Structure 1
Amino acid sequence: MTTTLFAASHGTSSPHGRLAVSRLVDAVARAVSVPVVPGHVDVEQPDVASAIADSAGTTRAVIVPLLLSAGYHVHVDLAEAALTAAVPTLVTPALGADERLVDVVVMRLAEAGYDRTDSVVLAAAGSSDPRAVDDCRATGRMLAARLGANVTVGFLSASAPSLADAVAEARRDAPNARVVVATYLLAPGYFFDLVGRVDADVVCAPLLTPTSTPRQLVEIVIDRAREATAGPR
């Protein structure tokens, strides 16, 4: 049986975002012994269904969502791609919530000059799917435990509080503190551009950048694929 791992990212029109994600896919490909093929759920081509259909020699497909939480794209778009594929296809859980993602958020905070006196707001994309929102809130709790400080989660779409409201509330609660936005987004793109427009003192880089592919993200992608194919123990 020839298994192919399909790395399913959201897709972006940002060249920086495309480069950052492609470097993650390349890093995963170097670390595993099976073919790794990129696909997308929006904006870019090929979509995941087309990537599977065009993958000659594949007899089993494993789709790993390069998404931080499991919302519509995982439960609908990728599920449909798996159901309609001509070969047996599994969809793994999303990348988060995972303590290793918190490792990367903490690293980005340190790079941005985070101080324990700062107020921290975690910026997440948001979703109409409550399961995805719960994943983001879980990450916020993990980050708060890691920092030993309060962390508010603010959303860029579909969920409340909005990032702008969360930043404003942080200012009201601690008017003499800097507000630092920890960016819980996979890569540069449309949503990261929105983060830069809020009234924060510091905005951290996303988890991936064109020049930084944290090993934790590579490990999570590989683990999701291995867990999905291991079967019951």
Structure 2
Amino acid sequence: MKPTLLAVAHGTRSAAGQRQIRDLVATVARRRPGLDVRLAYADVQRPHVGEVVAGARDAVVVPLLLSAGFHVRVDIAGAVAGTGIPVTAPLGPDDVLVESLTRHLPAADAVVLAAAGSADPAWRRSVHRTAAGIGAHVAYASGSDPRVADVVAGLRERGARRIAIAAYLLADGLFYRTLHRAGADSVTPPLCLDPAVAGLVLRRYEAAILTTADRRL
């Protein structure tokens, strides 16, 4: 029997965001009948990843996160420490996400990639890598500068008539909703709504199984 796929999301207070993440995990499970797929959270919601890992014998953790930032390096790493449970790479950066953003972007004079803010250098590098893939300006929905509304305003001042925001956010929530008030003409949907993301989750899981099998040989 294959190991449990333990998907670990950030967690949100948004009812819509909670539903979107549950739907993503349900889609993953439907694509692999018989595979035990479970959902846990790094913050805000329960069950916490540590609670689920404590009862798991054979599992692979797949972070439903867009970069190996604090929650991967601290929360998830701490939860699996000493268990032997492997943790895959997060979902981003990845060409699947770049392609998803590109598919959902309308024609525009300028594009702003809007991500959650972070002081983590690896996170910021991954955001810039993704922005380069779609030819976008980088901005942040919280914490870090430059802020989304400021970047949009600056592009307007420089003559951009139609500005699109590429939402580098997995699900609906406070950060995503602020993007609709940032002055752009359009905002792409949360990434988890794209069926291709479910395929990316499974790809991360299957790569971890192959790596673990190779180590045991």
TM-score greater than 0.5 by the shorter chain: yes
Instruction: Measure, in 1, the Cα distance between the counterparts of 2:58 and 2:78.
Output: 16
Residue-pair matches, total: 212
- Summarize the alignment of residues 1-233 of structure 1 with structure 2, pairs less than 5 Å apart: 3-32=3-32, 33-54=34-55, 58-83=56-81, 87-109=83-105, 114-115=106-107, 117-144=108-135, 151-173=136-158, 175-208=159-192, 213-231=193-211, 232=214
Instruction: Measure, in 2, the Cα distance between the counterparts of 1:26 and 1:176.
Output: 40
**Residue type at the aligned position of 2:172:** P
Instruction: Measure, in 2, the Cα distance between the counterparts of 1:108 and 1:188.
Output: 16
* Structure 2: segments with no counterpart, 5+ residues: none
Decide whether the 8 Å contact of 2:53 with 2:80 is kept in 1: no
Residue by residue, what CA displacement relative to the aligned partner does 1:36-55 show, whole Å, maximum 9, x if unpaired?
Answer: 1100011110000101224x
**In structure 2, the residue corresponding to 1:89 is in which secondary structure?**
coil
Residue by residue, what CA displacement relative to the aligned partner does 1:31-84 show, whole Å, maximum 9, x if unpaired?
Answer: 234311100011110000101224xxx422211110111210011111001105
Decide whether the 8 Å contact of 2:110 with 2:160 is kept in 1: no
Instruction: Measure, in 2, the Cα distance between the counterparts of 1:204 and 1:224.
Output: 24
Which consecutive segments of 4 or more residues in structure 1 shift more than 3 A? none
* Offset of residue 2 of structure 1: 5.7
* Offset of residue 215 of structure 1: 2.5
Decide whether the 8 Å contact of 2:5 with 2:60 is kept in 1: yes
**Residue type at the aligned position of 1:38:** L
**Residue type at the aligned position of 2:129:** A
Decide whether the 8 Å contact of 2:3 with 2:59 is kept in 1: yes
Decide whether the 8 Å contact of 1:59 with 1:88 is kept in 2: no
Decide whether the 8 Å contact of 2:142 with 2:175 is kept in 1: no
* Offset of residue 165 of structure 1: 2.1
Residue by residue, what CA displacement relative to the aligned partner does 1:160-201 show, whole Å, maximum 9, x if unpaired?
Answer: 32212221222223x252111111110111111221221222
* Structure 1: segments with no counterpart, 5+ residues: 145-150
Taking a change above 3 Å as real, the CA distance of residues 176 and 40 of structure 1, as seen in their structure-2 partners, is closer
Instruction: Measure, in 1, the Cα distance between the counterparts of 2:74 and 2:51.
Output: 16
Instruction: Measure, in 1, the Cα distance between the counterparts of 2:54 and 2:44.
Output: 19
Task: Return the TM-score normalized by structure 2.
Answer: 0.91
**Residue type at the aligned position of 1:105:** L
Q: Give RMSD over aligned pairs.
A: 1.8
Percent of residue pairs identical: 39
Instruction: Measure, in 2, the Cα distance between the counterparts of 1:35 and 1:122.
Output: 35
Decide whether the 8 Å contact of 1:61 with 1:88 is kept in 2: no
